[in-house]
Structure 1
């Protein structure tokens, strides 16, 4: 399936279709069961042309399981949700249960994770704020076995139905997508930037928008961990722009006669 948008904004990477499926695609890359990995690596691999897949045993990390729609996986974090709340904030040091969990798993985990578990990633100030963060997430358990990330160009639209379309873009291209998302609609807030992990901005937040009468697009890659994990694949100046498939089709229909064919946009992209 070709994208008029991708052509008009001269994307370097493939738009990615996120598909729910009960069948695993042939030759799809996938994390090993029980092995750590970042969902963003699967998504960006699709942007570079490879189909990737995960299920409830191969989503790589607990936040990733939440992000793509496999329920509240924070409950399965080492030490449970309480230890996760400390992990994302001030750390498990001086918390008896957390220190015991850290000591038990130290021989089996990466030093980076052990350090973050004890001293915290410090992405939120307190464990209480992390509890509120989890409460506000649109957590869902999707009705499918697999989440598939597939280059949009390889999607057979007669037999496959994307839930979400994801663009990995530079700042100029992101600007164009924001304008196009508002070009044909009322209101000035047809695009949002939630505070979320990179995978959550590709999955559960767009899933939530898909249920809305007037869905919005979701900007992501404000997660610095996600930026670090994908930098070798995509470079330094990339953001994500994810939208429900219905909204993607609407935007595709509005490419012609828009600013994408006017001089300002042409001058901007012709400077590169």
Structure 2
């Protein structure tokens, strides 16, 4: 691990290692990837050509794959043919626009069928508006890869960096985002699927010329792939670089933060964890 990152994580009292996300045409030599699934597109859906049984048979959650990667300290990666989840395929930029089926699945379901809906938004129309507004960027290369920062090779640069943590660690990251940007609204927390917080939303803000951190982990469907009380905190690579450069001038060196570190230790004790076991499951 890079010494500047190591020093920052020690000051933050972050147990584990952040994950970086990037796109590449080179398949990772190891890691977790979903099983191949059938092609997805609005045209295929409208023509009735999607094999839904195959879609669900190859289903796996993006955050679930990342959870496995965290436990094994390796990569999780995806491509258009191995997307795992219809939502994840959209958020990671492998197909657009999103399928009409998903607008019903996320909201009210489909009357007269076994698709009862997640009830996360109140109507299919609202879901469609959400998909239009978030408008994920098309995948620029074949693979979308998430892996620990220490495993990035020379010439590989993450677009986003994600921290996984509970409230005390998050308090350090949230305030640091404002410290390094002079932006009082440096942290956003919009509606979205778990993987959208790690990809679509930070890239969405960057596309608007806004350097924003994204606090996530609120999707009820992803909670089983996070530790109890754990959330995600994702920053663009530029903000991550500012973290490494500017944290020594921040409150992370003050007595106030040392008091917070005592609570971090108590949190580990409460969940039966020890330093260095931050990827263990509750």
Equivalent of 1:58, from 82, 85, 89? 82
Equivalent of 1:24, from 23, 27, 43? 27
- 1:212-251 residue pairs with structure 2 within 5 A? 212-228=208-224, 230-231=225-226, 235-251=227-243
Give 3-state SS (helix, strand or coil) of 1:26's partner. Answer: coil
Paired residue for 1:150? 147
- Superposed CA RMSD in Å reads 1.7
Paired residue for 1:132? 129
Paired residue for 1:33? 36
Kept after mapping to 1: 8 A contact 2:80/2:95: no
Q: What CA distance in whole angstroms lies between the structure 1 residues aligned with 2:207 and 2:131?
A: 20
TM-score under structure 1 normalisation?
A: 0.83
State the Cα distance separating 1:137 from its structure 2 match.
Answer: 1.4
Residues 29-57 of structure 1 show CA distances to partners (whole Å, capped at 9, x for unaligned) of: 21111210000022233433111211011
Q: What CA distance in whole angstroms lies between the structure 1 residues aligned with 2:63 and 2:248?
A: 32
Residues 131-190 of structure 1 show CA distances to partners (whole Å, capped at 9, x for unaligned) of: 21111113221210001111112212x321111111111111111101000013223101
Distance 1:40 1:73, change over 3 A: farther
Equivalent of 2:109, from 83, 91, 106? 91
Equivalent of 1:74, from 98, 105, 110? 98
Residues 114-133 of structure 1 show CA distances to partners (whole Å, capped at 9, x for unaligned) of: x5x2x111111112211211
Give 3-state SS (helix, strand or coil) of 1:41's partner. Answer: helix
Give 3-state SS (helix, strand or coil) of 2:248's partner. Answer: coil
Give 3-state SS (helix, strand or coil) of 1:201's partner. Answer: helix
Kept after mapping to 2: 8 A contact 1:30/1:52: yes
Paired residue for 1:45? 68
Residues 197-219 of structure 1 show CA distances to partners (whole Å, capped at 9, x for unaligned) of: 01011111112233354411111
Across the two proteins, how many residue pairs are aligned to each other?
Answer: 240
Structure 1 segments of 4+ aligned residues over 4 angstroms from their partners: none
TM-score under structure 2 normalisation?
A: 0.80
Gaps of 5+ in 1: 76-80, 100-114
Residues 223-266 of structure 1 show CA distances to partners (whole Å, capped at 9, x for unaligned) of: 010112x04xxx21111111111111012111112111111111
Q: Higher relative CO (CA 8 A, sep ≥ 6), structure 1 or 2?
A: 1
Q: What CA distance in whole angstroms lies between the structure 2 residues aligned with 1:262 and 1:194?
A: 31
